[in-house]
Amino acid sequence: MVPLMHGTGLFNTFGTLLTAGEVVFPGGTRLEAARVWHAVERHRVTNLLIAGNAVARPAGG
């Protein structure tokens, strides 16, 4: 849920891909909790990176 322009999002995405993992992008141009949770359910996401209140609050946390 962290944007790729943020170091946390970028480096964790690279790390996941370098270890043969898969990365899911929910789409859209802004953070929308419903879209994220739909992608989590649809793609059976097992790990979700949330960095700080700026991301946690819109996600319903």
Confirm whether pTM is higher than 0.85.
no
Q: Which one has a higher pLDDT value, 41 or 5?
A: 41
Residue with tokens 């097992």: 46
Tokens of 48: 């979700």
Give me the pLDDT at residue 51, please. Answer: 78
Closest CA relative to residue 26, chosen from 38, 16, 12, 17: 38
For the stretch 7-61, pLDDT in tens is 888 999 999 999 999 999 888 888 888 998 999 999 999 998 887 777 777 777 5
